Amino acid sequence: MLDKNQIAKRIAQELRDGMYVNLGIGIPTLVANYIPSGVDVVLQSENGLLGMGPFPFEGEEDPDLINAGKQTITTVPGSVFFDSAMSFGMIRAGKVDLTVLGAMEVADNGDIANWKIPGKMVKGMGGAMDLVASAKNIIVAMQHVNKAGESKLLKQCSLPITGVGCVKKIVTELGLFDVTERGFELRELAPGVTVEEVKAKTEGRLVVEGDIPVMNL
Amino acid sequence: MNKVYTDAAAAVADIQDGATLMLGGFGLCGIPENSIAALVAKKVTGLTCISNNAGVDDFGIGLMLQQRQVKKMISSYVGENAEFERQLLSGELEVELIPQGTLATRCLAAGYGMPAIFTPAGVGTEVAQGKEVRRFEFNGEEKDYLMEYAFEADFAIVKAWKGDTQGNLIYKDTARNFNPMMAMAGKITIAEVEELVPAGELDPNFIHTPGIYVHRIFQGVNYEKRIEQRTVRKRSTE
C-alpha cells in the first residue's frame, strides 16, 4: 500500500519535460516534491502565477505572493503573474498540459465528485469545475475507500459531480488505473497489494488483463 | 477631471443599501482593505457582493458579514469563515456558488462589453441547471458549453499597488487576481492604491488597468495584508 507521499511520487513519474502543470490542494501539492531530475515543468497556480517556486525562507514571506491554497510561496526564474481571467483563459484554451487533483469519488466513466457533500457545509468548487472541464489530461490522487471502508471508485458518483467523463488516470494507495471506455483498467499494483484486494475494494467496472506489474517507486 | 478622493469614506459615501458590489482579491490577498473598513463604518446593508471569497471571521468581507451587511454572496469558495457558515445555515445569507473561472470571465465580459460567455465549466453538474447549453466544435473537439451572463455591478471596488491621478493602475504579484477584470466591470469603479502618484510617473508600457475604467481613486493607508496560510521552509545550515 502507498502512503500519501508515495502516491505523489508515482504521479510525479508521469511528468514530462516542458509540461505546464496545475497541482490541486492536498496530495497533488506533494507531487512538486518528487519532480524527476532532468524534467523541467512549469507549475501553474490558478490565482495568477506560472512558475511557482517553493515556500519562502522564514522572514521572507510576502502577503502579495500566494498560491491557490492561500499559502505563501516564491517565484522561480521565468515566472510570470497574470489576472484570474487570463489564468482560467489558459486553462480553458487547453494550454495547461496536466491537472492533478484530489477526489471524493470517481465513476468508471470518468465522472468526478470533489466539491460538495449535501447536508454538510458547502465551501464551493473554487477552480475545480473549470479545471476538470478543460484539462487535456487529468490525474486523480485519492484514497481507494472511505473511512467506512466503502469504495470511492464507483459505477456512478453518489455525490454531486464536478465534471463529466474527464478523469484519465487514478493513483490510489492500491494501484494505478487508466480510466477508459471499459472502466477502471488496473495497470500497476502498489507493493504488497493483491488483485483480489483491488477487486474487493472497487465497486465500478474493473478491468484486469494479464500480469499486473508492481509499481516501481 | 478629478478622480482623486481624499480617503475610503469619501470614495464609498454614495453606496446605498441594496447595492451590488464587486470586491477584488483572492482569499485575503489583494483585497480593498480600506474600502471594506469604510463600508463597515458606514453600516450600509442589504448588499450583494460578488467576490471570489468571503474573507475570514475577523478580516476582509468577514467584517461585513459580522455586521449583517451582506444579503447575498456570489463566490467560488467560501470556506474558512465560521460566521459565514452560521448565517448560511440559518438562512440569513443567500449564497450563489459558481466556478472560479466563470466568475472571472463574467466580470471580464462586462468590461469587454459582451452580454454573455460560453464556458464548459459546470456542464453536466448542478451549476448547469436552468442554463442554456450549446454545442460547439472548437479547439479540435466538439463539446457542450454553458451560457453565462456578464455581471452587472453598481460599484466595483479594487485594490492596486500603484495608481496615478488618471486612474491608471498597476498591481503587484498575485495580489492582481480578480482586481483587473472587476475594475473593468463596475458602473462606478473605486480603486484604492498603496501609492498614488501624479499622472506621468507610471510607465504607460506597464499599466495593467487603463484609467478609463476607473472613476475614483484614493491613497490607502495602514495596510495590514494579513497572511491566511503562512508557509515557510528552513534555511539550510550547510
Query: How do residues B167-184 score in pLDDT, each as one tens digit?
Result: 999 999 999 999 999 999
CB contact under 8 A, B229 and A69: yes
Check if B142 contacts A (Cβ < 8 Å).
no
**Residue keyed to cell 495608481:** B163
CB contact under 8 A, A160 and B30: no
Tens-place pLDDT, residues A166-183: 999 999 999 999 999 999
Q: How far is CA A36 from each of CA A16, A17, A33, A72, B236, rounded to the nearest angstrom?
A: 9, 9, 9, 24, 21
Name the nearest CA neighbour of B80 among A66, A118, A64, A126: A126
Q: On the CB side of B113, how many CA atoms lie within 13 Å of its CA? A: 1
Strand (E) or helix (H) holding A114 = none
Check if B210 contacts A (Cβ < 8 Å).
no
Instruction: Give the Cα separation of A79 and A74 in Å (integer).
Output: 9
Whether A185 is catalytic is: no
CB contact under 8 A, B231 and A73: yes
Q: Is B232 exposed, middle or buried (0-12, 13-18, 19+ CB in 10 A)?
A: middle
Q: Is A5 exposed, middle or buried (0-12, 13-18, 19+ CB in 10 A)?
A: middle
Tens-place pLDDT, residues A74-89: 999 999 999 999 999 9
> B172 to chain A: nearest residue by CA?
A64
How near does any CA of chain A get to the CA of B103, in Å? 8
Check if B43 contacts A (Cβ < 8 Å).
no
How near does any CA of chain B get to the CA of A110, in Å? 13
Q: What is the pLDDT of residue A120?
A: 80
How near does any CA of chain B get to the CA of A93, in Å? 8
Which member of B123, B178, B208 has the closest CB to residue A164? B123
**CB neighbour list of residue B65: distance below 8 Å, 6 or more residues apart:** B54, B55, B81, B83, B84, B87, B93
Pairing assessment for the beta strands A206-207 and A183-189 based on DSSP bridges: parallel
Tens-place pLDDT, residues A94-143: 999 999 999 999 999 999 999 998 878 678 999 999 999 998 899 999 99
Instruction: Give the Cα separation of B166 and A204 in Å (integer).
Output: 60
DSSP E strand boundaries for B76-207? 94-97, 116-119, 133-138, 141-149, 153-164, 169-170, 186-197
Residues 1..20 of B with a Cβ closer than 8 Å to A: which? none
Q: How far is CA B111 from each of CA B97, B101, B149, rounded to the nearest angstrom?
A: 21, 15, 12
